[in-house]
Amino acid sequence: MANYQKIKGTQDFFGTEILKLRYIEKVASNIANNFGFNEIKTPIFENTEVFVRLGDESDIVTKEMYTFLDKGNRSITLRPEGTAAVVRSYLENKLYANNLPLTKLYYFGPMFRYERPQAGRYREFHQFGVEVFGKSTALLDCDVIISAYQILKKLKIDNFVLKINSIGDYESRKLYSDTLQSYFKEHLNDLCDDCKRRIEKNPLRILDCKVDNNNPILLNAPKIHDFLNQSSKQYFQEVLSILNQFNIPYEVDEKLVRGLDYYTDTVFEFIINSQDDLNGIAICGGGKYAELVKSFNGMDIPGIGYAMGVERLIAIMDIQNKWDGLINNDLDVLIISLDYESKLKALEIAHLLRDHNFKTEIDYENITMKQQFKLADKLNPKFIMIIGEEERQNGVVSIKDSRTKTQESVANRDIITYLKGKLI
Ligand code: HAM
């Protein structure tokens, strides 16, 4: 039997849900824009190699990518995240050649991961993300983190925590990774199957094991902070001190290593504390990546960025009741018209109103006055405009304010001024 249902882990957005998605996009883009970011839009699919850069031991690359051969036998992948695609575009379009100290980009769009669908976890989901290329400074790291913080604050989200950690520069991370590897090899039998596989290529990810995070072997593992070299330590201290100075609350979480392999030094996540199955979920994750650009073409350009899960933000705002007064797509005017000539006039006035940004609807059929008022009940417009033969002959319309229930006769040439005055 044909299956005409949406694919598991995907959603249709319509009605208020699409308004919520757009609202978050608007708020986030606005703040990013004020922070000096410009928008970038990359394709939804890329050559698979682009995403293999994320680390061939990351779960995303090994298990979660939607990869297929196109008709030309090329391996194509639906983007599982934005960073690698933005790096590809940054290099391909030589965006570094603008001679500015930094290139600051933001994006909004769907991402695809073959994950097990559950609360807040989808196979198609939307991310709002930013990436900055060009410099590595603690001040920049903090400004990027603060931009995410401000977006969450502007959305009025409560009960989130910024978790932050340093996983050191490449050198410190290598030393730590080797030490962890030897440690875990001694406790091989106490690890889950996934972690056994991670030992060889990415022992850091074992710390992030979702199967048993109370495993004493994980809790007692060597700690990254004992392996940071002097410059990584200083860098991290500076990041924390700037956050303190700007009163950004945070928790240092030594277990935070993030699910992608490209990070160095600062990594962070914003986590939600909630009374339900979204408790502990990440609404934003990011960090600094000194090596990713190099892994594409050898250029030594550091980057930093983050991405927020838009569906998760929507879910949290639903739970926390944050939508009141934010999403409103009500009809401004419904024009009720009585005879065919009046309907033509209604259409003419509708075009005028739409030109002035009033959301306007008319009756296109020849339904009765009573039916048109029923339609008004359903559409709930702010104003009902009535046009009949008498109004036409006098060059006026009758406008009823749905809120005050008052009705006035308004000359055709004054309609726009009248409505604008009412809507202030
Ligand atoms: P990520 O931690 O994989 O990082 O994803 C960022 C955010 O996307 C998560 O915190 C979460 O809110 C959301 N998210 C991830 N997977 C799903 C899913 N299956 N369903 C719903 N939401 C999801 C990245 O993607 C990096 N590219 C972030 C970054 C940018 N790092 C540096 N620059």
Q: Which atom of ligand 1 is nearest to the CA of 60?
A: 3
Pick from 11, 127, 163 the residue to mutate for probing ligand 1's pocket: most ligand atoms within 8 Å of its CB. Answer: 127
CA of 68 to the centre of ligand 1 (A): 22
Alpha carbon dihedral 285, 287, 289, 290, in 10-degree steps, equals 180
CA of 315 to the centre of ligand 1 (A): 15
Total Cβ atoms within 10 A of residue 59: 21
State pLDDT tens for residues 154-197. Answer: 999 999 999 999 999 888 888 898 999 999 999 988 888 888 88
Confidence class of residue 357 from pLDDT cuts 50, 70 and 90?
very high
State pLDDT tens for residues 363-414. Answer: 998 788 899 999 999 999 999 999 999 999 999 999 999 999 999 999 999 9
**CA end-to-end distance (rounded Å), the chain:** 55
Pick from 125, 136, 316 the residue to mutate for probing ligand 1's pocket: most ligand atoms within 8 Å of its CB. Answer: 125
Quote the pTM value.
Answer: 0.93
How far is C-alpha 12 from the chain's CA centre? 16
Instruction: Compute φ and ψ for 57, nearest 5 degrees.
Output: -110, 0
Place of tokens 């020849």: 366
Say yes or no: CB of residue 270 within 6 Å of ligand 1. no
Q: Which two tokens stand for residue 7?
A: 């694919």
Q: Whose CA is nearest to atom 22 of ligand 1?
A: 309
> How far apart are alpha carbons 244 and 233 in whole angstroms?
17
How far is C-alpha 288 from the chain's CA centre? 19
Answer yes or no: is pLDDT of 336 > 90: yes
Pick from 111, 270, 308 the residue to mutate for probing ligand 1's pocket: most ligand atoms within 8 Å of its CB. Answer: 111
Q: Whose CA is nearest to atom 11 of ligand 1?
A: 309
* Whether 238 contacts 138, CB under 8 Å: yes
